[in-house]
Amino acid sequence: MTSKRHSGAFTDPKTQALLQKSNTRLASQPLGELMAESGRFEACSRRFEDLLLDFSRVHLDGEALALLLDAAAASDVAGRRDALFAGEHVNATEDRPALHMALRTPEVLEAVGGEEAGRVREAMARMFDFAATLGQGELPGSPGEPVTDLVHVGIGGSLLGTQLVCDALDEGDSRLRVHFLGSVDAIRRERLMAKLDPASTAVVLVSKSFSTGDTLLHGRRLRAWLEASLGEERAHRRLFAVTSQVERAGAFGIAPERLLYFSDWVGGRYSLWSPVSLTAAALIGPDRFRELLEGAASMDRHFREAPLADNLPVLSALVGVWHRNVCDYPAWGCMPYDQRLKLLPAYLQQLIMESNGKSVRADGEPSGLATAAVVFGETGTEAQHSVFQALHQGSDIVPLNFVAVARPDHDDQEAQDELLANLLAQLTALAAGRDAEATRAQLGDLDEAMVRQRSFAGGRPSELFLLDALTPAALGRLLACYEHKVFVESVLWNINAFDQWGVELGKTLAPGIQSALAGGDVEAGQGLEGLLAEIARLRK
Ligand code: F6P
């Protein structure tokens, strides 16, 4: 790999022009050729503890990577990272820090200091107590009262991370059954209530704002369901809340001793490290949940201390901006080759698209740059049998992020080999493709039209995260790595990764429309008259 150094912030037109020049230069060297170069894997992979990042199938060489690293340095990625960890108000539009790392890295919490750090420590300690009690099948605060089922109610960041941790790390040995309710759609809740016994069910309402309609409506229905069968006093002992708005939860009827607080400087999509994950800690056990936090803390240290060129979140972010801003690819797919990570794409959709789906810079000026790609994903090999046709031969190139686990927690070596063989085959097929000559050589006598149908252009890039094993610590490292990658991308794009104003407009329109659905006046100018009339007709 050659390495010439240039400098300039990522948004600088000169830097963009240099990166484009590199891209044009690389166009004459197929990705299949580049990835087969000797020493390519060593040059384009980095390990941190049990997590390997392999970006040898990204269409980059040493010169292009050096340009990206210079752009990162000139964009003050290191300075912005230090400001993040120091608790500066990096979330400028909400005038607050983004300190989710304080939940897992003790030195960051020490830097927060004061009364707030004490509140956080107390809430985390209580979360671990509650989790231990629930895990033993008992109701926290009411010794001897049984809990067989825990219903977690929450949406977005108040659901996706916790649910992912449960799915990924559940070893199937807990006496507790956990259930999740997100969308306000009542169907799942009604079916769940029909099969649960209120006398052995606990409900945890998780909402940072404690004003999210979906969560509060489920909460009201579940409270009424518990009350109808147990009476008010016994019912309320089975209701818990996790929120940063303690007064609102109190007004809902949650007693202070059943309320777990988290700070408003923990963004919803960054909150899985907080008491938001009570359900996960109860299911997998407090010790394994602590290991998850420690794994994430080790990634925090790596992110702060490793040089940019060896820093996993930084490198993955540079790959991200190369694909988005230089190659102009509009989408990004996450393909975990481990069924326990089936919910990873859904979690990443929110993390990436809610954090970095912005068109206005942190200083309020239009960005002018492409920001977050459209995120989607599915587990391999299921994805191979559904969406991979387009990824191999479709008209758009979609960079992929593969995640795999070397040592599975089962003894079926043949199944694991088949899974990993499929993964490695996809990586190669996407990147190298199969030209017409190779197609003819492999498939024999085909006419030219059929040769075109059966050929693969290749040049489809991917990066791979390979975990030694899916331990709680490794999952913590992986998820924290994604969080920091998203942050680095936001620095390069000069946007605020921690607000989410784009979700507000729809929320303000919904109440008026709801009253129209209930027979009230239809507001003119929304173009909804026809649909509302049709819905009213169908409901009659
Ligand atoms: O509407 C978006 C959002 O605010 C997310 O940012 C958040 O994770 C989710 O809704 C749930 O919000 P809350 O935890 O306040 O109920």
- SS3 state at 79: helix
**CB neighbourhood size of 342 (10 A):** 16
pLDDT for 274: 98
The contacts of residue 195 (CB under 8 Å, 6+ apart) are none
pLDDT value, residue 9: 81
Could you tell me whether strands 51-57 and 45-48 are parallel, antiparallel, or unpaired per DSSP bridges?
antiparallel
Taking the CA of residue 354 as reference, the ligand 1 atom at the shortest distance is 6
Q: How many alpha carbons fall within 13 Å on the CB side of residue 3?
A: 9
CA–CA gap between residue 532 and residue 329 (Å, rounded): 38
Q: How far is the CA of 275 from the centre of ligand 1 (A)?
A: 15
> Is 385 marked active-site?
yes
Q: Are residues 481 and 535 in the same domain?
A: no
For residue 296, being part of any structural domain is answered with no
Residue of 63, 227, 291, 354 marked active site: 354
Query: Could you tell me the sign of the dihedral formed by the alpha carbons of 253, 254, 257, 258, in that order?
Result: positive
Q: Are residues 226 and 204 in the same domain?
A: yes
Q: Are residues 314 and 434 in the same domain?
A: yes
The answer to whether residue 492 sits within a structural domain is yes
Instruction: Retrieve residue 208's tokens.
Output: 């940072």
DSSP 434: B
Do residues 155 and 43 share a domain? no
Pairing status of strand 201-206 against strand 239-243: parallel
User: According to the model, what pLDDT value does residue 3 have?
Assistant: 38
3-class SS at 155?
coil
CA of 355 to the centre of ligand 1 (A): 12
CB 367 within 8 A of CB 194: no
Are 183 and 154 in a shared domain?
Answer: yes
- Is 485 part of the annotated catalytic residue set? no
**DSSP SS3 for 211:** coil
Asked whether residue 188 falls in the same domain as residue 266, the answer is yes
* Ligand 1 contact via 375 beta carbon (within 6 Å): no
- Would 107 be classed as within a structural domain? no
Which atom belonging to ligand 1 lies closest to the Cα atom of 271? 8
Q: Which residues lie closer than 8 Å to 523 by C-beta, 6 or more apart?
A: 512, 513, 516
Does any domain span residue 280? yes
Q: Could you tell me how far CA 529 lies from the centroid of its own chain?
A: 37
From atom 8 of ligand 1, which residue's Cα is the shortest distance away? Answer: 157
- Please tell me whether residues 333 and 440 are part of one structural domain: yes
CB 458 less than 6 A from any atom of ligand 1? no
- Per DSSP, the three-state class of 59 is coil
Structural domain that includes position 41: 9-95+306-499
Q: What is the CA radius of gyration of the chain?
A: 25
Count of Cβ atoms closer than 10 Å to residue 179 Cβ: 17
- Residue 79, Ramachandran bin (φ over 0: left; ψ between -120 and 50: alpha; else beta): alpha
Residue 331, domain member (yes or no):
yes
Q: Are residues 363 and 225 in the same domain?
A: no
Check if 152 has its Cβ closer than 6 Å to any atom of ligand 1.
Answer: no
* Nearest residue by C-alpha to atom 6 in ligand 1: 268
Cα–Cα distances (Å) from 363 to 26, 73, 147, 495, in that order, read: 34, 20, 50, 8
Same domain assignment for residues 245 and 382: no
Decide whether any atom of ligand 1 lies within 6 Å of the 349 Cβ. no
Domain-located, residue 4: no
Task: Return all residues near 424 (Cβ < 8 A) that are at least 6 apart.
Answer: none
The verdict on 491 and 344 lying in the same domain is: yes
**Dihedral pair phi/psi, residue 48, rounded to 5°:** -130, 115
Q: Specify if 472 maps to a domain.
A: yes
Are residues 472 and 366 located together in one domain of the fold?
Answer: yes
* Same-domain pairing of 495 and 515: no
Q: SS3 sequence, 238-290?
A: CEEEEECCHHHHHHHCCCHHHEEECCCCCCHHHHHHCHHHHHHHHHHCHHHHH
Contact between 67 and 20 (Cβ < 8 Å): no
Q: Is the C-beta atom of 155 inside 6 A of ligand 1?
A: yes
Confidence (pLDDT) at 8? 54
Residue 322 lies in a domain: yes
pLDDT in tens, the chain (540 residues): 433 444 458 888 999 999 999 999 999 999 999 999 999 999 999 999 999 999 999 999 999 999 999 999 999 999 999 999 999 999 999 999 999 999 999 999 998 999 999 999 999 999 999 999 999 999 999 999 999 999 999 999 999 999 999 999 999 999 999 999 999 999 999 999 999 999 999 999 999 999 999 999 999 999 999 999 999 999 999 999 999 999 999 999 999 999 999 999 999 999 999 999 999 999 999 999 999 999 999 999 999 999 999 999 999 999 999 999 999 999 999 999 999 999 999 999 999 999 999 999 988 999 989 999 999 999 999 999 999 999 999 999 999 999 999 999 999 999 999 999 999 999 999 999 999 999 999 999 899 999 999 999 999 999 999 999 999 999 999 999 999 999 999 999 999 999 999 999 999 999 999 999 999 888 888 999 999 999 999 998
Residue 196: its pLDDT value, please?
Answer: 98
CATH of the domain at 204: 3.40.50.10490
Q: Which of 190, 232, 507, 529 is catalytic?
A: 507
Q: Residue 500 CA: which ligand 1 atom is closest?
A: 6
> Which listed residue (190, 382, 385, 418) is catalytic?
385
Q: Which residues pair with residue 407 across a beta bridge? A: 469
Residue with tokens 């001897």: 144
User: What is the CA(458)–ligand 1 centre distance, in A?
Assistant: 40
How many domains in the chain? 3
